[in-house]
Structure 1
Amino acid sequence: MIELTYYGHSSYLVNINQKTVLFDPFISPNPKASRVDVEAIKADYVLISHGHEDHVADAESITKANNAMLVSNYEIAVWFAEKGIERYHPMNHGGSKEFDFGKVKYVHAVHSSTLPDGSSGGVAGGFVIKHDEGCFYYAGDTALSYDMKLIGEEFKIDFAILPIGDNFTMGIKDAIKAADFVGTKKILGMHYDTFPYIEIDTEAAKKAAMEAGKDLILLNIGESIRL
């Protein structure tokens, strides 16, 4: 089992093999996460799925404060290197890399990717993390895609962290299909309720998931769970 802590929007901190891996930190600009002490977050790795502000806002400060390793696509990694990030690892779609917490594969996502200053963020992606105790999928911002079936064919996915807010990404119906494609019954929701555009009926989403035989887990900001 591994422990996950939700910091709002799409930001999850995952403890794997005594290492802490932080995904898409958008915390300090998020009013819903105002009780989170960003300076207290300890991260050994910061993984960035794509370049939008609501996924990278706290990446520079957290990475520098912890001397963490930033992992993303080539364009994003180099952009952060130019901001003084000394430890970074660039990837691209289909590529895998072994780190001391597990193996990371950077996979396809269907979404745009522009960095806060207007620079190209390359092509958006997601991550499959295979570790000693299992495997999970962090989708990033994406539409439903048949490419997700390839993930299910290659990996045994224990749970998937999927966007459910609709409008800019998948909604709950497509997230349920995505879970089918990657072969898991457990969905951790992300990218919902932060802004008016992506506010959802959470009870209706839970009902839809339950009726489809899925376990939709929606954590409160700051809440942790072991899976």
Structure 2
Amino acid sequence: MQITYFGHSCFQLEIAGKKVLFDPFILPNQLAEDIDISTIKPDYIFISHGHQDHVSDVEDIYRQSEAKIVSTFEVVSWFEEQGLDNIHPMNHGGEWKFDFGTVKMVNAVHSSAMPDGSYGGNPSGFVFTIEGKSFYYAGDTALHYDMKLIAEEFDIDFAFMPIGSNFTMGVKDAVKAADFVNTSKVIGMHYDTFPFIEIDHDEAKSLFQKADKELILMKIGENINI
């Protein structure tokens, strides 16, 4: 599985011959100024919630790719009103078998509003299962006990987790979250983009190492294989 990082919480995964993009926030992100958005043509765009720093590039990427937008009913309905009609609505606890694998929408503790201030539904995370392996994309969230339910149902190979604190959980809570979902490998997200969420990279990695876990902090534009 190849993973490409486009900054903030935006990753593209190549899964079973399909490209899946999460929470596109690229053009407004000064740290991602070297990313050419015109080259990003996914098959799916998964959106965890409606905040601007997770949806700003959805329309542009949709227009050039016709990617299917997957999110909560409220989020996809808002995009449908903007003329983006290749959508798949979900809600918490629901599961769907896509052509690349199965996805379950899970709880996140955060807030959600669309760029125009309209209601964005409840924030969410996703658990993907592909050919017997599972990973967790937490979205923007605080640490919460529902994460333990994920470990009861899935064997999580790795997880994408926010670590910037202030708006989401920070590094210490992300270590606990990794325990809750029972994974030893975390890819950090939602950090450094704004002054409020800048982190000490060495300290963050050290906290994970002390807990016998690995924190991966990808460079923007970097590809890795897991």
TM-score (normalizing by structure 1): 0.99
SS in 1 for 2:156: coil
Q: Which residue of 2 aligns with 1:105?
A: 104
Distance 1:129 1:64 in 2: 25
Deviation per CA, 1:175-207: give whole Å up to 9, x if none: 011011111000000000000000011110000
Distance 1:117 1:185 in 2: 39
Deviation per CA, 1:27-50: give whole Å up to 9, x if none: 010000000000101200000000
Q: Does 2:96 align with 1:73? A: no
1:1-227 correspondence runs (5 A):
2-132=1-131, 134-227=133-226
RMSD of the alignment, in Å?
A: 0.6
Unaligned runs of 5+ in 2: none
Offset of residue 133 of structure 1: 5.3
Deviation per CA, 1:39-62: give whole Å up to 9, x if none: 101200000000000000001111
Distance 2:110 2:27 in 1: 24
Deviation per CA, 1:100-153: give whole Å up to 9, x if none: 011111100000001110011100000001011511000000000000000011
SS in 2 for 1:200: coil
Which ranges of 4 or more aligned residues in structure 1 deviate by more than 6 Å? none
Distance 2:77 2:64 in 1: 19
Aligned length: 226
Distance 1:170 1:193 in 2: 14
Letter in 2 for 1:22: L
Unaligned runs of 5+ in 1: none
Distance 1:62 1:102 in 2: 22
Distance 1:72 1:180 in 2: 26
Offset of residue 3 of structure 1: 0.7
Distance 1:45 1:185 in 2: 27
